Amino acid sequence: LAKTTQPISMDSYEGQEVNITCSHNNIATNDYITWYQQFPSQGPRFIIQGYKTKVTNEVASLFIPADRKSSTLSLPRVSLSDTAVYYCLVVSKHGSGNTGKLIFGQGTTLQVKP
Amino acid sequence: EAGVTQSPTHLIKTRGQQATLRCSPISGHTSVYWYQQALGLGLQFLLWYDEGEERNRGNFPPRFSGRQFPNYSSELNVNALELEDSALYLCASSPDPGSSGNTIYFGEGSWLTVV
């Protein structure tokens, strides 16, 4: 199982770009990287998923270097409503080592200030 | 398309009682995962069901159990409730685990309070 490491917390201001990096040194060949956002007392919300290079959707971008040992979630022009906990999760493809035992790290608490 | 739905939203039980939580996965999803999240803490993996079978479980005592029905919905049962079981219980679902990416989607959770 690929263990993930993220900063415990980050502060930012409205309108800034925020980059949150996750380390996953023992990621396996068939593992994907997924990021979630969680507000207090709510279930985690899927943000973005990628395998390599760069993935972009309407809310975020995900940068994965060639060695795939880390990934960076980029949130453009954050607002107060982006204050939340962000988790990265390494997910294995079943039949190639997926045990379904998905282990979340401690997450990064992002505080956006006005 | 409906997301993962969980019931009840809130549940209050007395220590020693049993609690049953329910989860309906996204249509077409065959895998269901259960997590426990105590207040202010991270997500702890509980159980994984796929195609009606328990495939893996986390480091929880046997009084945490569950099942998955033929329609892929799932129940989580917690017996002999203890005060420390008070937490948000989250259910998640994903498509066939053999599918590429295996994206997991979460429900909004069920709050269990043990008094």
Q: How many Cβ atoms are within 10 Å of A18's Cβ, its own excluded?
A: 20
Of A91, A101, A103, the CB nearest to B104: A91
Paired residues of B56 in beta bridges: B48
Radius of gyration of chain A (CA): 14
CA distances from B55 to A31, A65, A88 (A): 19, 32, 23
Residue B44: beta bridge partners? Answer: B36
Determine whether the interchain pair A43/B33 forms a contact, defined as Cβ–Cβ distance below 8 Å: no
Instruction: Judge whether B95 and B64 are in contact, CB under 8 Å.
Output: no
| Among B17, B54, B19, B14, residue whose Cα is nearest residue B33 | B54
Distance, in Å, from the CA atom of A47 to the CA atom of B6, rounded to the nearest integer, reads 21
Residue with tokens 């259960």: B34
pLDDT for A95 equals: 47
Counting as low any pLDDT under 50, the low residues of chain B are none
Q: Is A114 on the interface with B (CB under 8 A)?
A: no
Which residue among B42, B97, B105 sits closest to A100, beta carbon to beta carbon?
A: B97
pLDDT confidence of residue A102: 74
Please, are residues B45 and A103 in contact by the beta-carbon 8 Å criterion?
Answer: yes
What is the DSSP code (8-state) at residue B62?
T
Q: Which of B43, B45, B106 to mutate to test the interface with A (most CBs of A within 10 A)?
A: B43
Mean pLDDT by 10 residues, chain A (114 residues): 86 97 89 93 94 94 96 97 94 58 84 97
- Ordered by where they begin, the domains of chain A are 9-113 (2.60.40.10)
Interface with B, mutate which of A102, A106, A109 (most B CBs under 10 A): A102
Q: Is the dihedral of CA A106, A89, B31, A56 positive or negative?
A: positive
How far is A92 from A33, CA to CA, in rounded Å? 9
State residue B85 phi and psi, 5-degree precision. -80, -10
CATH code of B13's domain: 2.60.40.10
Tell me what pLDDT residue A60 has. Answer: 97
Contacts of A100 in chain B (CB under 8 A): 31, 33, 48, 50, 55-56, 97
Question: Structurally, how many domains does chain B consist of?
Answer: 1
C-alpha distance from B5 to closest chain A C-alpha (Å): 11
* CA B6 – CA B23 distance, rounded (Å): 4
